[in-house]
Structure 1
């Protein structure tokens, strides 16, 4: 029983560590989105794909095309709270 409770608490903690800023306007035309994984295991591939997809869908909804201004990924090792993180700055043309 104690093991089950510990597992549930750990799972909730890890899930709560993931973050997503959503799309933020940072200038006249520039937009920004940041995503961080909940753990260090998956790397940046999945969250990079999610960020690019979200940005592309945003631009498509405005009948525009995504243009990447800057894409940053933090490098491993992913330990002690330094989890995979992607920051995407873009414009819609």
Structure 2
């Protein structure tokens, strides 16, 4: 029973370490959003998709389109605190 409790505690602790910035306004209709995995075992695809979904949600509120300014992704190997991470800087612009 103690071993099970220890494993459950570890899983809860690790899952609580993921970092999601939410939408950060940078001025002039420019924003940043970032996502970081809690471990090195997750892939970049899901993180990037979640960040892009958040960016699109931000711009849709003002009936605008997303224009990506910069994408920064963590480089492997994903060990010793270098976990998968993506940062997206974007603008909400009028649709063409």
Same fold (TM over 0.5): yes
Q: Hey, what does 1:80 align to over in structure 2? A: 80
Q: Hey, what does 2:38 align to over in structure 1? A: 38
Scaled by the length of structure 1, the TM-score of the pair is: 0.95
Matched residue count: 93
Structure 2 matches for 1:1-93, cutoff 5 A? 1-93=1-93
Would you identify which runs of 4 or more consecutive aligned residues in structure 1 move more than 2 Å? Answer: none
Using the TM superposition, give the Cα deviation of residue 49 of structure 1 relative to its aligned residue in structure 2, in angstroms.
0.4
Q: Which structure 1 residue ranges, 5 or more long, are not aligned?
A: none
Q: Which structure 2 residue ranges, 5 or more long, are not aligned?
A: none
Using the TM superposition, give the Cα deviation of residue 27 of structure 1 relative to its aligned residue in structure 2, in angstroms.
2.1
Q: CA RMSD in A?
A: 0.9
Scaled by the length of structure 2, the TM-score of the pair is: 0.92
* Secondary structure of 2:27's aligned partner: coil
Using the TM superposition, give the Cα deviation of residue 53 of structure 1 relative to its aligned residue in structure 2, in angstroms.
0.7
